[in-house]
Amino acid sequence: MAGIITIFGTGEGQTAKVAERIDAELRARGHETTTVNVKEIDPGLDIDDFDAVLVGASIHMGRQQKAVRKFVNANQAVLARKPNGFFQVSGSSGEETEEGAAEAARYVDEFIEATNWHPDRIGLFGGALRFSEYGFLMRALVKFVARVESSEENPLADVEYTDWEEVEAFANEFATFVEERLGETAED
Ligand SMILES: Cc1cc2nc3c(=O)[nH]c(=O)nc-3n(C[C@H](O)[C@H](O)[C@H](O)COP(=O)(O)O)c2cc1C
């Protein structure tokens, strides 16, 4: 059993939902999990107390949350010595086209360049758009930047693009990776 912490950034809550689903999968595998919003980290929390670290972020106007980048920068050394992973939630990944995938990959490349952190595992997931909460201009802007369409029948309906099976598969693959890595260390 490993102690796994997931730190995530979220704007409208979809990355929080993804983080919770990952947490549930890891727990079902027998691991001890902690999941924290990057904005609510207790100053006494020490990442070094955990065996593995996952970091999640969503994309707004082409970037992950600043607080997530800051967290990664501040914890470079600890991240480097633990099995780790990164997951990103975006409209581009929800588009399910080559262009969308390339755009999502570009966000990750920029994140890696900005933080100099090269995660062991990376998961890219589609997000959700709350068209019901946006005014006319915001709807047009979001469709343009997030590369998504609203529902044809009801342009004001919220749309979820997240593939939950992909999220669960990522969590399980990460669990296997952590188990193998910690097993190797224990045998040394
Ligand atoms: C104002 C706004 C800007 C966005 N900009 C982008 C973007 O530049 N690229 C993209 O792929 N998705 C973009 N999205 C889509 C979000 O990544 C998607 O809604 C995601 O689910 C947000 O996750 P969160 O609720 O955890 O913040 C944007 C969404 C909003 C509301």
pLDDT in tens, 79-97: 999 999 999 999 999 988 9
- According to the model, what pLDDT value does residue 14 have? 97
Q: What are the two backbone dihedrals, phi and then psi, of residue 173, each rounded to the nearest 5 degrees?
A: -65, -40
pLDDT band at 65 (very low <50, low <70, confident <90, very high): very high
Our mutation pick for probing the ligand 1 site, out of 59, 61, 147, counting the most ligand atoms within 8 A of Cβ, is: 59
Distance 14 CA to ligand 1 centre (A): 9
Residue 100 has pLDDT above 70, yes or no: yes
Q: Which domain holds residue 16?
A: 3-128+162-187
In a domain, 157, yes or no: no
Distance 1 CA to ligand 1 centre (A): 34
Q: Specify the ligand 1 atom closest to the Cα of 16.
A: 26
CA distances from 63 to 60, 73, 123, 153 (A): 5, 15, 16, 31
Give per-residue burial for 144-168: e unless 16+ CB within 10 Å, then b.
ebbbbebeeeeeeeebebbeeeebe
Question: How many helices (H) and strands (E) in the chain?
Answer: 7, 7
- Residue with the smallest CA separation from ligand 1 atom 20 is 127
Ligand 1 near 129 CB (within 6 A): yes
Say if strands 3-8 and 52-58 run parallel, antiparallel, or are unpaired. Answer: parallel
Q: Specify the ligand 1 atom closest to the Cα of 18.
A: 26
- Report, as an integer, the average pLDDT of 112-141: 93
Distance 60 CA to ligand 1 centre (A): 4
If one counts the domains in the chain, the total is: 1
Here the tokens at position 46 are: 């020490």
Distance 105 CA to ligand 1 centre (A): 15
Contact, 40 vs 9, CB < 8 A?
A: no
- According to the model, what pLDDT value does residue 151 have? 76
Contact, 89 vs 57, CB < 8 A?
A: yes
pLDDT band at 188 (very low <50, low <70, confident <90, very high): low
Q: Which residues contact 125 (CB under 8 A, 6 or more apart)?
A: 18, 87, 88, 89, 90, 93, 94, 162, 163, 166, 167, 170
Q: Which residues contact 46 (CB under 8 A, 6 or more apart)?
A: none
- Report, as an integer, the average pLDDT of 35-61: 96
Residue 152 has pLDDT above 80, yes or no: no
Q: Name the CA radius of gyration of the chain, rounded.
A: 17
In a domain, 84, yes or no: yes
- Report, as an integer, the average pLDDT of 180-184: 88
The CATH number of the domain holding residue 69 is 3.40.50.360
Distance 3 CA to ligand 1 centre (A): 30
Residue 33 has pLDDT above 90, yes or no: yes
In a domain, 150, yes or no: no
